[in-house]
Amino acid sequence: MQEENAFKRKYFLPHYSCVYPCVRSPSTLAPRSPSPQPPDSLHRVNNITTPTLFMGGEIDWNLPILGREQMCQALKRLGRPTELVVYPREYHEFKTPSHIKGRLERCLDWYNHYVTGDATPARSMPAPKM
């Protein structure tokens, strides 16, 4: 038990408290946790009218793909132009050269179609292979 507490003091608390100075121990997190309400962005999804392109890595731990899937489905149900592209075996920072290139090309295609008014469709590329 002492080793576990020493580990937390050495690694967890110094790094966590420098990001959140009000937190001195993990036990103080529970009272400060938000109430179980829908996230603000999903709560106001009716107000979103901008064509939206969601992209991410399949194993992204920084921004899990689940939130993007939920937002994409909500926008599709409202009839908003939206697309979700999930790159297999990719984390938050892409490593595969073809995925990096594909992501940049998709962004450019999306921009050209919806911002500059280019007649070519935004989805000019096939989805990444699993």
Distance CA 57, CA 10 (A): 32
**Residue range 58-77, pLDDT digits in tens:** 998 888 888 899 999 999 99
pLDDT tens, residue by residue, 19-32? 444 444 555 545 54
Phi-psi map region of 16: left, alpha, beta (phi>0 left; psi -120 to 50 alpha): alpha
CB-based burial, 26-44: b 16+ in 10 Å, e otherwise: eeeeeeeeeeeeeeeeeee
DSSP, collapsed to helix, strand or coil, labels residue 78 as coil
Question: What global pTM score does this model have?
Answer: 0.62
Asked if the model's pLDDT at residue 79 lies above 90, the reply is yes
Q: Which two tokens stand for residue 53?
A: 């392109």
